[in-house]
Amino acid sequence: MVLVGLGLALILGSAVHRRLSASGGLRARARVRAAQSTSLWRVRARVAERPGRLAALAGALARLRCNILALQIAPAGSASMMPGGCDALDEFIVEAPASLTPLDLWRAVDRAGGAEAVIVPAQVRDLIDPGIQALLLGRRVRDDPGELVAAMTELLRTADIRRCGPGEPAPEEGPTVMAVPLPAGGVLVARRPDLPFTPTETARAAALAAAARHRQWADE
């Protein structure tokens, strides 16, 4: 009986040990997942086009353990487009620790020399190269002009888009309001309050509308 009791005790102890080990393993894995939790952000700033400026900005993000997944640099424009002596617009898609706030990112960019920084949430689809996306959307609109509004929504990353007919007054354009002329008259008005439109985006939007116009001419 003593041997039987000892055997049962060993079996019970082994089962309890395995359960506790499994529970500890689950907790450890949960802690690892929590530590690895990240967020995607779009980081945009005006940067003086001088040697080392872009590297300084990238270094500031790296020190916060941010992983730069994509980078776009807008071409230099006129003084009205690029005020304050800044002649480049750098835009990053970064994967950052979930513990970082937009203010943390803004401070890092500001200290690295980035002016007028804007930090907004990003999504995985934002990793698509904007130039390639514009070409694909242009083909889609060329094949079906009825897709213009949906395609423009994807291109400009905003759902706030509406048509203004030829007789309707169009709102005044500004950094966050864009009016794109339509092939049949009127304009398509896009608003994106949290992120100003860039000159490159304005040009791509006009080209997308032109794709619908070219299809209309081909059908006549």
- 63 and 85 in a single domain? The answer is yes
What type of residue sits at position 201?
E
Query: Looking at the 3D structure of the chain, how many domains does it have?
Result: 2
Question: How far apart are alpha carbons 44 and 118 in whole angstroms?
Answer: 5
CA dihedral 44, 45, 46, 52 (to 10 degrees): -110
Shared-domain flag, residues 215 and 153? yes
Residues 106 and 155 in one domain: no
Question: Which tens digit of pLDDT belongs to each residue from 53-80?
Answer: 899 999 999 999 999 999 998 865 544 4
Verify that 109 and 151 share a domain, yes or no: no
95-149 per-position pLDDT tens digit: 999 999 999 999 999 999 999 899 999 999 999 999 999 999 999 999 999 999 9
Examine the fold and report which residue of 127, 156, 191 is the final residue of a domain before the chain moves on.
127
| pLDDT tens track for 164-183 | 988 888 788 899 999 999 88
**Is residue 152 located within the same domain as residue 212?**
yes
| CA gap 100, 156 in Å, rounded | 26
Angle 78-59-96 (CA atoms, 0-180°, nearest 5)?
Answer: 100
Q: Report pTM.
A: 0.73
Q: Where are the alpha helices (DSSP H) in 52-171?
A: 53-63, 102-111, 130-143, 148-156
- Are both 97 and 138 inside the same structural domain? no
209 and 148 within one domain: yes
Cβ contacts of 167 within 8 Å, gap of 6 or more: none
Kindly state whether residues 123 and 42 are assigned to the same domain: yes
- Whether 30 is covered by a domain: the verdict is no
Q: Percentage of the chain with pLDDT > 70?
A: 75
> Does residue 116 share a domain with residue 161?
no
Q: Are the beta carbons of 92 and 150 closer than 8 angstroms?
A: no
156 and 101, same domain (yes or no): no
pLDDT exceeds cutoff 90 at 84: no
For residue 19, tell me if it sits in a domain: no
Domain span at residue 62 reads 37-127
